[in-house]
Amino acid sequence: QVQLQQWGAGLLKPSETLSLTCAVYGGSFSGYYWSWIRQPPGKGLEWIGEINHSGSTNYNPSLKSRVTISVDTSKNQFSLKLSSVTAADTAVYYCARRDYYYDSSGYINWFDPWGQGTLVTVSS
């Protein structure tokens, strides 16, 4: 059973860079997209971006200028960096595996499993 375990700094000052890492245990690293999703306190989920094992990325256009997602296939890990953080970046950050396939019905994808989440607070 695949498990994701994430870690990183939980308290940042404005203008600093958020850095989180997610390790994948118990499954293949290839054939999926490895994703970051965040949730501000009391609000909904926001997709940040994703990467596959070969390093191909997709980013949320609203965050693209500040986001870098990278992968270390030797360690089955992927990482998120978000630069120039502000209070608006305060959120629980989740890593998740995105699986997908095509069939006669169309394109099907889903996020499963998810990491445990990391609360990142930006405050001066």
Partner 1 sequence: SSELTQDPAVSVALGQTVRITCQGDSLRSYYASWYQQKPGQAPVLVIYGKNNRPSGIPDRFSGSSSGNTASLTITGAQAEDEADYYCNSRDSSGNHLKGVFGGGTKLTVL
Site residues, partner 1 (CB under 8 A): 35, 37, 44-47, 49-50, 58-61, 94, 98, 105-112, 114-117
Answer whether 96's CB lies under 8 Å from 20's CB.
no
Per the DSSP assignment, residues forming a β-bridge with 38 are 46, 93
Whichever of 14 and 31 has its CB closer to partner 1, that residue is 31
Closest CA to 35 of 8, 60, 11: 60
Whichever of 17 and 56 has its CB closer to partner 1, that residue is 56
Whichever of 19 and 92 has its CB closer to partner 1, that residue is 92
Number of other CB atoms surrounding residue 115 within 10 Å: 21
CB of 116 to partner 1, least distance (A): 6
